[in-house]
Structure 1
Amino acid sequence: MRTPIVIGIITYNRPRGLAALVESIARQQFDRKELSVSLIIVDNACNPNTEKQVYTLLEEHSLQGIYSTEEEQGIPYARNKVVELFLRETSGKWLAFIDDDQTVAPSWVASLVETAEETSAQVVYNRQEYVLPPGSPEWWKKSFFFQKKEVHGAKIAYFYTHGVLIHRTVFEHFPYPFDICLKKSGGSDSRFAAQVHRAGFIIVYSHTACSYEHVPASRLTYKWLYKRGLRAGALSSATGILTGKHPWYMRAKCVLRFFCWTGRAVGGILFSTLIQKKGQQARAVYELGWAVGIVMGLFGFLHDEYTTIHGE
């Protein structure tokens, strides 16, 4: 009996990124013959050229797939459309999300499924590596572009859609999982993750399943790092208050975190400037944005990061 893995991709005017991603999916290697993949690609730009490209890519790489559009602008609308099509048009037990500025390792799908079977988890989040533009200073990797490496198979309370495998039962419980209020700020995936964790579903980390995010040069600035931190901090506090059992406790916790992160960021900026360590300085700029964002989130303000499209 075959085990179809459906891969959901939302795209917005990134033809080169989409082509590279689909090509990497076509190179998936399976030790088990029963595994197979199909795609659901939702175009949030409703670009006729994207439709032509998608069908060309599917034919070129001998892949099965569904193409659709979502006229409502915003990442949550497009992601919800993927889930809707997955539940309505497929019988697959697993839906994997990946972004159109990424590529995946040849063992990505097989490793996600293997980790799910090993741990009996309903959600498996992958390891992500960042690919910086050629000629980028090495110290950038020590700023924001790194990921905390969890122990393989460890239970975690978070995930993001830049590489995650989710069982059908989760979407049957949350049929419209991505919050449309976050259509420009981003973070609908982390808020969904908080709800999934609170509902009692098992989320685990897979070190063997790896995806690669290709970072555009436009993001290699202190200004972008600060704004990214601003968004992350605001979403963290707002999500904690909305999904936590005790909102006032979460508010007090956020205030404490603001002072801790502010002290850490200011100290980091001063110390890194003194010893001339640009990587640590850039990381401290991100943390300062995070601290300010915590206060913004307490009062319901979010940073609309996705009014600007980076890359293509």
Structure 2
Amino acid sequence: MTMKLCVAICTRERPKLLRSCLMSVCGQRVPDGVEVEIVVVENHDKDVSRPITVEVAAQTGWTIHYVLEPELGIPFARDRCGVFAAENGYDRVLYIDDDEVAHPDWLATMVEAVSRYPAEVHYGRVLYTYPPETPSWMIAPQVNKRPTGTVLKKAEGHNTLVDTKVFRDDGYALHFDGSMRFTGGSDTDFFSRVHDAGGKIVWVPEALVEELVPVNRVRLGWQLHRTFRVAGNISRLHEKRSGRGAAMSRSFFKGLGRLFNGIFVQLPASLVFVVSPERGRRQAFHAAKQIASGLGSLAYLTGYQAQPYRKVDGG
């Protein structure tokens, strides 16, 4: 039986990144019995990237659909991808971000996982390539700690194969939450709801994509602000699932705990700097992230919500 698969790429005013992503997808090995096409959803009201899709399609022979989603925000773009795939008869939609490039066997590995580990969602791994100026103490080891086939309770949207029944009215009829358009975290929320609805999410670490980290993201301020806002997003996700009261209680105690740990446990440990400067800097960075995470959880209690995706990053 033939599997009809749609590779989905959301983009907005990032033509160079999109071209690299498209070329990596068009270089994939396609297994027998699989029909693959691509949809590029431009989160814009103008055809900014259409010329690139036309050029790559002509160069590679791949079918590339180009769709506009004028409602700004990544949840709307990702949802348009899923709805497009469901309405056009695709069995599965395979998400990849426009700032990623796929390893040559990425698609084939995902397809193989469908038969080996039947599930509604298959979640692949992202490797990060850092710019040369990145401080070594900022780079976390990229080690896979979960075996292939591990069943998860959530996933993210940057390397994920999804059964289109998740979007269809005769299936789960789920959609990305547009209220999270600029906050981040809408993908984690979506896949958590897939799990809650009875969908199975499986880890496939051999399905690799690679993301080139922009220079602005290896600055200390960006790293700490990201940790701060992620903590707030996690609190809001708990509110959606468990109610405001439970989320506030959790955020209060988690926030205080992380602050205490960062200030009184992790930060003093960074004094090892005297003996090992590299280890000391890494420990201090970890302490700062603990403090930022604690503050993010506590900021949730005030109603504050960061919106970092109001502007294009890396365009």
Identity %: 24
Q: Which residue of the other structure, out of 191, 199, 202, is the alignment partner of 1:201? A: 199
In the alignment, is residue 234 of structure 1 matched against residue 232 of structure 2?
A: yes
* Runs of 4+ residues over 6 Å off in structure 1: none
| Aligned CA distance change for structure 1 residues 196 and 49 (closer, same or farther; 3 Å) | closer
Structure 1 residues 10-29: aligned runs within 5 Å: 10-29=10-29
Residue pair 2:85, 2:92 contacting (<8 A) in 1 also: no
Q: Which moved more, 1:204-213 or 1:45-54?
A: 45-54
The residue type paired with residue 170 of structure 1 is: V
SS of corresponding position for 2:72: coil
SS of corresponding position for 1:67: strand
Alpha-carbon distance in structure 1 between the residues aligned to 2:113 and 2:251:
34
**Which entry has the higher C-alpha Rg, 1 or 2?**
2
| TM-score, scaled relative to structure 2 | 0.90
State the Cα distance separating 1:216 from its structure 2 match. 0.3
Alpha-carbon distance in structure 1 between the residues aligned to 2:271 and 2:295:
21
Q: Tell me which residue corresponds to 1:284.
A: 287
User: How many pairs were matched up?
Assistant: 307
Residue pair 1:125, 1:204 contacting (<8 A) in 2 also: yes
State the Cα distance separating 1:48 from its structure 2 match. 3.3
Q: Tell me which residue corresponds to 1:99.
A: 97
State the Cα distance separating 1:286 from its structure 2 match. 2.7
In the alignment, is residue 221 of structure 1 matched against residue 219 of structure 2?
A: yes
Q: Tell me which residue corresponds to 1:151.
A: 147
Alpha-carbon distance in structure 2 between the residues aligned to 1:113 and 1:270:
49
Q: Tell me which residue corresponds to 1:33.
A: 32
In the alignment, is residue 163 of structure 1 matched against residue 159 of structure 2?
A: yes
Structure 1 residues 1-312: aligned runs within 5 Å: 1-30=1-30, 32-88=31-87, 90-142=88-140, 146=142, 149-172=145-168, 173-175=171-173, 177-244=175-242, 248-266=245-263, 267-272=265-270, 274-275=272-273, 276=277, 277-312=280-315
Residue pair 2:229, 2:306 contacting (<8 A) in 1 also: yes
State the Cα distance separating 1:146 from its structure 2 match. 4.7
Residue pair 2:91, 2:164 contacting (<8 A) in 1 also: yes
The residue type paired with residue 304 of structure 1 is: Q
Alpha-carbon distance in structure 1 between the residues aligned to 2:81 and 2:164:
13
State the Cα distance separating 1:153 from its structure 2 match. 0.8
1:47-67: per-residue Cα shift (whole Å, max 9, x none)?
434111111112212111210
Residue segments in structure 1 that go unaligned for 5+ positions in a row: none
Q: Which moved more, 1:299-308 or 1:191-200?
A: 299-308
| Aligned CA distance change for structure 1 residues 78 and 254 (closer, same or farther; 3 Å) | same
State the Cα distance separating 1:176 from its structure 2 match. 5.4
SS of corresponding position for 1:17: helix
Alpha-carbon distance in structure 1 between the residues aligned to 2:93 and 2:73:
20
The residue type paired with residue 4 of structure 2 is: P
SS of corresponding position for 1:139: helix
Residue pair 1:131, 1:213 contacting (<8 A) in 2 also: yes
Alpha-carbon distance in structure 1 between the residues aligned to 2:142 and 2:256:
24
Alpha-carbon distance in structure 1 between the residues aligned to 2:254 and 2:116:
36
State the Cα distance separating 1:298 from its structure 2 match. 4.0
SS of corresponding position for 1:272: helix
Residue pair 1:185, 1:305 contacting (<8 A) in 2 also: yes
1:78-113: per-residue Cα shift (whole Å, max 9, x none)?
11221221122x211111111111111111112122
Residue pair 1:10, 1:44 contacting (<8 A) in 2 also: yes
SS of corresponding position for 2:152: coil
Residue pair 2:138, 2:282 contacting (<8 A) in 1 also: yes
SS of corresponding position for 2:207: strand
The residue type paired with residue 168 of structure 1 is: T
Q: Which moved more, 1:295-304 or 1:220-229?
A: 295-304
| TM-score, scaled relative to structure 1 | 0.91
State the Cα distance separating 1:130 from its structure 2 match. 0.5
Q: CA RMSD, aligned part only?
A: 2.1
SS of corresponding position for 1:48: coil
State the Cα distance separating 1:224 from its structure 2 match. 0.5
